[in-house]
Amino acid sequence: MENNKKTKVVYWITTGLLAAFILPGIFFLNSQAALEGTRHLGMPMWFHWELGIAKFIGGIILILPFFPKRLKEWTYVAFGIDFISAGIGNTAVDGLTPMILFPVIMFAVLLISYLTYHKLHPGK
């Protein structure tokens, strides 16, 4: 397989995984589990709604190709901060538990998506 084709495949797999994780969350914002998770971490409810809506918008920006590169850059930054903060928040509240692995794994997937995006769009 040609190098550019491999990069495209890796990009779309990782970006698709991100979208599959991020986008459906908007439909569960009002679920008991999501609301309890926010309470458990000591976050205010306004932040729960703000973050949920922002993540949905960011997920759309990542998967649709017509958004400008700079906007995608900031979206990657925002998700990076989100995943790092999730890991820190879970660790601060619950200590080092297996739950910390999920944001770490998602950060790694985000990083691979970001790097392959830049290989596919150099200098744009």
CB 77 within 8 A of CB 69: no
- Could you tell me the two tokens for 32? 């008991």
- Domain borders along the chain are 3-120
**pLDDT per residue as tens, the chain (124 positions):** 578 999 999 999 999 999 999 999 999 999 999 999 999 999 999 999 999 999 999 999 999 999 999 999 999 999 999 999 999 999 999 999 998 999 999 999 999 999 999 999 987 5
| DSSP 8-state symbol, 98 | G
What pTM did the predictor assign?
Answer: 0.91
Q: Which strand (E) or helix (H) includes residue 1?
A: none
Per DSSP, helices labelled H in the chain are: 3-22, 32-40, 45-63, 69-94, 101-120
Q: How many CA atoms lie within 13 A of 42 on its CB side?
A: 7
Pairwise CA distance, residues 30 & 60, whole Å: 20
